[in-house]
């Protein structure tokens, strides 16, 4: 089996090639390859990656330069200089690493697996898959899933706002239908608001001493601005509270939170204090059903996740290497007439 | 012989399902979750078959005909482990909270293990005082309630671990694997809210049986008192949770105290009350 992979990814500093390729529909690329006599090809096109995989029997001429020229014609741009060319075992290893999220800008991100699947489905729809590519992509999807279930590659957020959102999910489950109260309208508050809004928080309430800034931040995320004096009353409906006010002393005291908890009907309250000096009294954390995290707590979790992510990358790499070697052995066995079983690595009768 | 073999096999399957559940808790390997569900399903089938054989042997005594064989320790524990595994199986199929298997299934395995190892499976004709249709109602309702409360205890255990994880501010990987606090709390509260009326119904049925048999609805023995204390703890839990809106550890501790009372009333039955001496296998 012969396999060629051409890729343009986030590693290129110049994104002109990726921009040009993004404008060419994958279906058009596959159609062009079909008319030129290729029978097995698939392309994965995302916002920061374009990959073309072309497979054929061992004796087929799959010159990478010809494929690059064809893409240059379609994209009407010069692509050759940024192209990364891999063949056979290296191409297999690369696809498995891509599906596992090891080649992503944010290592371990899960979106890429769906994008690889979409690329494979488009190739199937175009009638451009045969035994080699079918097995290759199915194995890639299997490896992607295996890495995510058997290693901690996809778990553990690596930024303070995403850790805060992840913790909110461990308390509330899904965040849609929940209400977030933002006290203070600084840059960190906005970042947290952005993450919460992206996770489907249904109501965002902003309170700030300067009304204009509260109004502007609320407007950006389709939220509601309220007068600063009313925030203790707002605690009753809020599920997540983010404090970043810059006040000289605590604005959320134990008394205010205790009074709010009594009116909340037993709902949990997640408080995040990212202000320095502190906005929330430490004693609040002792109240039943109230969970207070400070900026240093969130940073400590990020540091821990980073350390475990490094271990997970090594574990994921081991899986990719093993499965890649298995696939290459299977591909070689195709020409010997004694086809290996990928599942058990045994010869099939 | 076949009954014993089937019970041992079911015990082995529940134990294996518990190991698969623990492995799933630690690794979140979906294959072990599916294996756990398959093992429970097979265990339930085997236990049902064992029950069929046990029932046929029990009914071989003409005096026992149409009565259920849960008058002794073996029958009661076997039925409870069956109901416990069955209730978890239902929750898992409906809610896909397989991760809770690690907290619930070891108790099902332990229950059946105690039955096959310690209890005397020998059968005998029922005592005259037990030959009543109430035998098919009062203990059955209570054992079902006990099994469901055991499920709630497993959920409460997971809830307590999750609460401690989040309160610690240094949550481990386990924190992200367990269901959310709200989900666990809702499940625990719902199980208890549904099961408490069943427990009360079972106790009322017992009082009616006692009244019909001896002319007294209340004997005042320790088992009856403990049963009321159990009801009190679970009622207190529901009051804390739904009326006073308390969250966190206190309501969970109260529900666990209720479960401790259940263990005490069940395993201390022979000590507490002559009429509930199933520990002796009578």
- Residue B168 contacts A where some CB pair is shorter than 8 Å: no
- Enumerate the residues of chain A whose CB falls inside 8 A of the CB of residue B173: 152, 155-156, 308
pLDDT of B280: 47
pLDDT tens figures, B151-208: 999 999 999 999 999 999 999 888 988 889 999 999 999 999 999 999 999 999 999 9
Contacts of A56 (CB under 8 A, 6+ apart): A1, A2, A38, A39, A40, A62, A132
Cα separation, B224 vs B229, whole angstroms: 9
C-alpha distances (whole Å) from B97 to each of B33, B69, B180 are 10, 33, 11
- Residue B23 contacts A where some CB pair is shorter than 8 Å: no
- Residue B176 contacts A where some CB pair is shorter than 8 Å: yes
pLDDT of A347: 40
Minimal C-alpha gap between A170 and chain B (Å): 4
Q: Which among B82, B62, B88, B87 has a CA at the least distance from the CA of B70? A: B82
Q: Which domains does chain A have, with CATH numbers?
A: 2-150 (3.30.460.30), 160-301 (3.40.50.720)
pLDDT at B209 over 60: yes
Q: Which among A71, A193, A60, A200 has a CA at the least distance from the CA of A130? A: A60
- What are B26's two structure tokens? 């630690």
What residues are paired with A204 via a beta bridge? A180
Cα separation, B226 vs B264, whole angstroms: 8
Asked whether B255 and B240 are in contact (CB, 8 A), the reply is no
pLDDT tens figures, A175-211: 888 999 999 888 878 887 888 888 888 889 999 999 9
Asked whether B267 and B235 are in contact (CB, 8 A), the reply is no
Which secondary-structure segment (H or E) carries A204? strand A203-207
DSSP 8-state code for residue A57: -
pLDDT at B281 over 60: no
Q: What is the mean pLDDT of residues B103-132?
A: 82
Among the partner residues B166, B170, B247, nearest to A288 by beta-carbon distance: B247
Q: How confident is the model at residue A344 (pLDDT cuts 50, 70, 90)?
A: very low
Minimal C-alpha gap between A232 and chain B (Å): 19
Contact call for A150 and B182, based on CB within 8 A: no
Count the Cβ atoms, other than its own, within 10 Å of residue B119.
18
Higher pLDDT, B210 or B71: B210
pLDDT at A238 over 70: yes
Q: How confident is the model at residue B269 (pLDDT cuts 50, 70, 90)?
A: low
Cα separation, B136 vs B147, whole angstroms: 17
Q: What is the mean pLDDT of residues B255-259?
A: 95
pLDDT of B274: 61
Cα separation, A312 vs A315, whole angstroms: 5
DSSP 8-state code for residue A285: G
pLDDT of B282: 39
pLDDT of B271: 61
CB pairs below 8 Å between A and B: how many?
Answer: 68
Higher pLDDT, A123 or A338: A123
pLDDT of A349: 36
Which secondary-structure segment (H or E) carries A181? strand A179-183
Minimal C-alpha gap between B24 and chain A (Å): 10
Q: How confident is the model at residue B126 (pLDDT cuts 50, 70, 90)?
A: confident
pLDDT of A331: 86
Three-class SS state of A282: helix
pLDDT of B192: 96
Higher pLDDT, A155 or A278: A278
C-alpha torsion sign, points B59, B63, B68, B71: negative
Helices (H), A80-204: 88-100, 111-125, 131-150, 160-172, 187-198
pLDDT of B195: 95
First to last CA, chain B: 21
Residue by residue, DSSP assigns A139-158 as HHHHHHHHHHHHSSSS-S-S
ipTM of this complex prediction, to 2 decimal places: 0.80
pLDDT of A346: 41
Q: How confident is the model at residue B121 (pLDDT cuts 50, 70, 90)?
A: low
pLDDT of A154: 75
Peptide bond into B158 cis (omega under 30): no
pLDDT of A96: 95
pLDDT tens figures, A45-97: 988 889 999 998 766 677 888 889 999 989 888 888 888 999 989 999 999 99
- Whole-structure pTM over 0.80, yes or no? no
Contact call for B176 and A285, based on CB within 8 A: no
Three-class SS state of A302: helix
Q: A180: number of CA atoms within 13 Å, CB side?
A: 30
Three-class SS state of A310: helix
pLDDT tens figures, A88-147: 899 999 999 999 999 988 788 888 999 999 999 999 999 999 988 999 999 999 999 989
Asked whether B127 and B282 are in contact (CB, 8 A), the reply is yes
- Cα Rg of chain B, angstroms: 19
Across chain A, mean pLDDT equals 87
Asked whether B178 and A167 are in contact (CB, 8 A), the reply is no
Cα separation, B2 vs A261, whole angstroms: 58
Count the Cβ atoms, other than its own, within 10 Å of residue A61.
7
Q: What is the mean pLDDT of residues B261-265?
A: 90
Q: What is the mean pLDDT of residues B49-72?
A: 84
Cα separation, B224 vs B265, whole angstroms: 8
- Describe the strand order of the beta sheet including A240-243 as a list of residue ranges: A224-226, A203-207, A179-183, A240-243, A269-273, A290-294
pLDDT tens figures, B1-32: 676 777 888 889 999 999 999 988 887 777 88
Q: What is the mean pLDDT of residues A149-163?
A: 78
Q: How confident is the model at residue B217 (pLDDT cuts 50, 70, 90)?
A: confident
Higher pLDDT, A122 or B100: A122
Contacts of A197 (CB under 8 A, 6+ apart): A204, A221, A222
Among the partner residues B27, B180, B250, nearest to A171 by beta-carbon distance: B180
Given the DSSP bridges, would you call strands A84-87 and A2-9 parallel, antiparallel or unpaired?
A: antiparallel
- Enumerate the residues of chain A whose CB falls inside 8 A of the CB of residue B193: none
- What are B154's two structure tokens? 């497993």
pLDDT of A345: 44
pLDDT of B32: 86
pLDDT of B272: 60
Q: How far is CA B237 from the centre of its chain?
A: 18
Residue by residue, DSSP assigns chain B as -HHHHHHHHHHHHHHHHHHHHHHHHHH--HHHHHHHHHHHHHHHHHHHHHHHHHHHHHTTSGGGTT--S-SSHHHHHHHHHHHHHHHHHHHHHHH--GGGHHHHHHHHHHHHHHHHHTS-----PPPGGG-SGGGGTHHHHHHHHHHHHHHHHHHHHHHHHHHHHHHHS---HHHHHSPPHHHHHHHHHHHHHHHHHHHHHHHHHHHHHHHHHHS-S----HHHHHHHHHHHHHHHHHIIIIIS---SHHHHHHHHHHHHHHHHHHHTHHHH-GGG-GGGT-
User: Catalytic residue at A15?
Assistant: no
DSSP 8-state code for residue A279: S
């Amino acid at each position: 089996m012969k396999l060629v992979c051409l890729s343009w990814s986030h590693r290129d500093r110049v994104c002109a090639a990726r921009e040009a390729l993004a404008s060419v529909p994958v279906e058009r690329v596959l159609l062009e390859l079909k008319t030129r006599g290729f029978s097995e090809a698939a392309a994965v096109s995302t916002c920061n990656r374009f990959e073309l995989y072309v497979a054929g029997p061992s004796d087929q001429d799959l010159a990478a330069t010809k494929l690059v020229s064809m893409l240059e014609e379609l994209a009407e741009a010069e692509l050759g200089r940024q192209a990364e060319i891999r063949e056979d075992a290296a191409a297999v290893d690369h696809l498995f690493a891509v599906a596992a999220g090891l080649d992503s800008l944010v290592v371990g991100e899960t979106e890429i697996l769906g994008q690889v699947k979409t690329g494979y489905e488009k190739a199937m729809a175009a009638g451009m898959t045969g035994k080699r590519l079918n097995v290759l992509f199915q194995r890639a999807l299997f490896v992607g899933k295996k890495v995510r279930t058997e290693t901690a590659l996809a778990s553990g957020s690596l930024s303070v706002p995403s850790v805060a959102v992840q913790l909110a999910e461990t308390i509330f489950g899904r965040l849609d239908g929940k209400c977030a109260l933002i006290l203070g309208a600084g840059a960190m508050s906005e970042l947290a608001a952005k993450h919460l809004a992206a996770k489907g928080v249904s109501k965002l309430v902003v309170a700030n001493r300067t009304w204009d800034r509260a109004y502007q931040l609320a407007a950006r995320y389709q939220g509601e601005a309220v007068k600063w004096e009313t925030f203790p009353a707002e605690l009753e409906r809020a599920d997540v509270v983010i404090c970043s006010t810059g006040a000289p002393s605590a604005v959320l005291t134990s008394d205010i939170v205790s009074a709010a908890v009594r009116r909340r009907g037993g709902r949990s309250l997640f408080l995040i204090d990212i202000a320095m000096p502190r906005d929330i009294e430490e004693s609040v954390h002792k109240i039943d059903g109230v969970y207070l995290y400070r900026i240093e707590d969130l940073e400590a979790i990020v540091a821990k996740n980073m350390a475990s992510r490094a271990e997970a990358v090594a574990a994921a790499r081991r899986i990719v290497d093993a499965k890649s070697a298995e696939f290459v052995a299977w591909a070689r066995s195709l020409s010997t007439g004694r086809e290996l079983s990928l599942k058990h690595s045994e010869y099939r009768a | 012989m076949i009954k014993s073999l089937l019970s041992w096999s079911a015990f082995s399957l529940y134990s294996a399902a518990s190991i698969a559940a623990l492995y799933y808790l630690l690794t979140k390997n979906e294959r072990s979750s599916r294996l756990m569900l398959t093992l429970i399903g097979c265990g339930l089938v085997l236990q049902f078959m064992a029950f069929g054989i046990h029932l046929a042997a029990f009914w071989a005594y003409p005096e026992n005909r149409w009565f259920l064989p849960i008058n002794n320790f073996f029958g009661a524990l076997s039925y409870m482990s069956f109901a416990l595994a069955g209730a978890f199986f239902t929750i898992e199929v409906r809610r896909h909270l397989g991760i809770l298997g690690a907290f619930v299934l070891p108790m099902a395995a332990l229950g059946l293990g105690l039955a096959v190892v310690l209890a005397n499976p020998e059968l005998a004709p029922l005592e005259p005082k037990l030959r009543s249709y109430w035998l098919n109602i009062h203990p059955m309702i209570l054992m079902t309630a006990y099994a469901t409360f055991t499920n709630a205890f497993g959920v409460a255990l997971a809830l307590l671990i999750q609460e401690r994880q989040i309160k610690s501010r240094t949550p481990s990987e386990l924190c992200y694997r367990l269901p959310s606090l709200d989900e666990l709390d809702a499940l625990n509260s719902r199980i208890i809210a549904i099961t408490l009326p069943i427990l009360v119904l079972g106790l009322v049925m017992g009082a009616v049986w006692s009244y019909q048999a001896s002319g007294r609805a209340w004997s005042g023995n320790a088992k009856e008192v403990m049963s009321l204390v159990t009801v009190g703890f679970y009622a207190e839990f529901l009051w804390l949770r739904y009326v006073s809106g308390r969250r966190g550890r206190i309501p969970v501790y109260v529900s666990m105290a209720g479960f401790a009372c259940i263990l005490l009333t069940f395993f201390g039955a022979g000590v507490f009350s002559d009429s509930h001496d199933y520990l002796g296998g009578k």
